[in-house]
């Protein structure tokens, strides 16, 4: 496993051989959220776990915009993983929207596309994410003595310990005995409507194979989204994972890996 930063984006590579697969995380996430999935795909696949702007170790920006983000990812891939040809791209939630825009704007970089539990549409549970962002912002880091105290303060507003654990991956020691949020919370709170939206992509289409993975306990992918998905991505296959909510890759990892292996290993372009 190796970590690098090219330009404004930071990435970690898992595996030393095989076809390249790029993973794009969702809101509050980091590339390393896909580490176990990437290890399960080795050695047949070499995975690039990317930190999107305003997340993880990547640079912060002035505003959130899917088109700009997709173009930044494209530049990063051209300089590295996709320098010798197209790569497979897997994106979850916000990262799924980035992946879709990347494929539509830069189809020469993407071999096969996997979109995990998100649709090319505005909406979704923006209110839920606003609550989570507000909850994190409400923690007074200047009075925080230890990491566990942050979890204790969040418990009343976010009862689910698993969700708190995921969010608190963004809490980092600042080097002076205090703490800081690694994600750009102020920008994400301000631009949450853009995060929940989807840009106008005109008449663009992506004619390579696409796997659309939904959780049967999630409402992010609904029947009314199907026409838009198939208009933009006419070679789409929809798979619904039983027992999975929005975080399909962490809630049903074995089924998710199995779906990836079947799809990425299929013959034909």
pLDDT in tens, 150-176: 999 999 999 999 899 999 999 999 878
* pLDDT for residue 177: 82
Q: Which residues contact 200 (CB under 8 A, 6 or more apart)?
A: none
* pLDDT for residue 70: 98
Closest CA to 212 of 251, 263, 255, 163: 263
Query: How far is C-alpha 198 from the geometric centre of its chain's CA atoms?
Result: 15
10, 47, 58, 93: which one is catalytic? 93
Q: What angle do CA 38, 39, 43 make, to 5 degrees?
A: 100
* pLDDT for residue 175: 78
Told to judge if 2 belongs to the known catalytic residues of this protein, a careful annotator would answer no
* pLDDT for residue 5: 45
Told to judge if 246 belongs to the known catalytic residues of this protein, a careful annotator would answer yes
Stretches in the chain below the pLDDT threshold 70: 1-7, 123-125, 268-269
CATH 3.40.50.1820 maps onto the chain at 2-124+196-264
Q: What is the pLDDT of residues 76-95, one digit of tens each?
A: 999 999 999 999 999 999 99
Angstrom distance (rounded) from CA 54 to CA 64: 9
174, 186, 207, 216: which one is catalytic? 186
3-class secondary structure, 190: helix
* pLDDT for residue 9: 95
* pLDDT for residue 139: 95
- Classified by CATH at the fold level, domain 2-124+196-264 comes out as Rossmann fold (3.40.50)
Angstrom distance (rounded) from CA 31 to CA 193: 23
Angstrom distance (rounded) from CA 169 to CA 51: 13
76, 88, 106, 246: which one is catalytic? 246
Told to judge if 88 belongs to the known catalytic residues of this protein, a careful annotator would answer no
The bridge status of strand 19-24 relative to strand 9-14 is unpaired
Closest CA to 132 of 176, 76, 78, 170: 170
């Amino acid at each position: 496993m190796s970590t690098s930063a090219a330009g404004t984006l930071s990435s970690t590579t898992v595996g030393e051989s095989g076809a390249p697969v790029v993973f794009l995380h969702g809101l509050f996430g980091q590339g390393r959220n896909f580490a176990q999935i990437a290890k399960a795909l080795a050695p047949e696949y070499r995975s690039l776990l990317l930190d999107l702007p305003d997340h993880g170790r990547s640079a912060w920006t002035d505003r959130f915009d899917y088109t700009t983000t997709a173009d930044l990812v494209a530049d990063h891939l051209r300089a590295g993983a996709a320098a010798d040809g197209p790569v497979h791209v897997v994106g979850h939630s916000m990262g799924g929207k980035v992946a879709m825009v990347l494929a539509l704007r830069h189809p020469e970089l993407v071999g096969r596309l996997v979109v995990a539990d998100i649709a090319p549409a505005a909406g979704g549970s923006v209110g839920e994410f606003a609550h989570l962002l507000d909850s994190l912002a409400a923690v007074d880091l200047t009075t925080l003595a230890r990491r566990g105290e942050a979890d204790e303060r969040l418990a009343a507003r976010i009862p689910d310990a698993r969700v708190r654990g995921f969010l608190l991956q963004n809490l980092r020691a600042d080097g002076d005995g205090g703490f800081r949020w690694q994600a750009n919370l102020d920008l994400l709170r301000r631009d949450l409507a853009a995060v929940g939206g989807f840009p106008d992509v005109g008449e663009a289409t992506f004619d390579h194979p696409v796997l659309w993975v939904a959780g049967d306990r999630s409402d992010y992918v609904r029947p009314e989204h199907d026409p838009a998905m198939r208009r933009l991505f006419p070679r789409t296959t929809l798979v619904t994972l039983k027992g999975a909510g929005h975080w399909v890759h962490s809630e049903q990892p074995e089924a998710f890996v199995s779906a990836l292996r079947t799809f990425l290993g299929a013959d034909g372009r």
